Structure 1
Amino acid sequence: MFNFFKKSKPKKELVDKPDITSSLTSTQIDQIEQIEQSISQLLQQIDHTDDAVTLASLYEKTGLLYCQLDCVDFAIEYLEKSLQHKKSIGEGYKALMNLYNHKRADAAKHGSMDDIDFWMNKMDSMRNIAKQVTVQRD
Structure 2
Amino acid sequence: MFNFFKKKQPKVLSTQKSEVKSSLSSEQIEQIEQNINQLLQQIDQTDDAVVLAALCEKAGLLYCQLDRADFAIEYLEKSLQHKKSIGEGYKALMNLYNHKRADAAQNGSMHDIDFWMNKMDSMRNIAKQVTVQRD
1:24 Cα offset (Å): 5.2
1:125 Cα offset (Å): 0.0
Aligned to 2:66: 69
Aligned to 1:53: 50
1:119 aligns with 2:85: no
Question: Equivalents in 2 of 1:83, 1:131: separation in Å?
Answer: 14
- The SS at the match of 1:37 is helix
Q: What amino acid is aligned across from residue 72 of structure 2 in structure 1?
A: A
Q: What amino acid is aligned across from residue 51 of structure 2 in structure 1?
A: T
Question: Equivalents in 1 of 2:114, 2:41: separation in Å?
Answer: 35
1:57 Cα offset (Å): 0.1
Aligned to 1:82: 79
Question: Equivalents in 2 of 1:104, 1:24: separation in Å?
Answer: 25
Quickly say closer, same or farther: Cα 1:92–1:24, change in 2 above 3 A.
closer
1:122 Cα offset (Å): 0.1
Moved over 2 A (4+): none
1:67 Cα offset (Å): 0.1
1:118 Cα offset (Å): 0.1
Q: Summarize the alignment of residues 18-37 of structure 1 with structure 2, pairs less than 5 Å apart.
A: 28-37=25-34
**TM-score, normalised with respect to structure 2:** 0.83
- The SS at the match of 2:72 is helix
Unaligned runs of at least 5 residues, structure 2:
1-17
Q: What amino acid is aligned across from residue 35 of structure 1 in structure 2?
A: I
Aligned to 1:94: 91
Q: Which protein shows a greater Rg? A: 1
Question: Equivalents in 1 of 2:76, 2:22: separation in Å?
Answer: 27
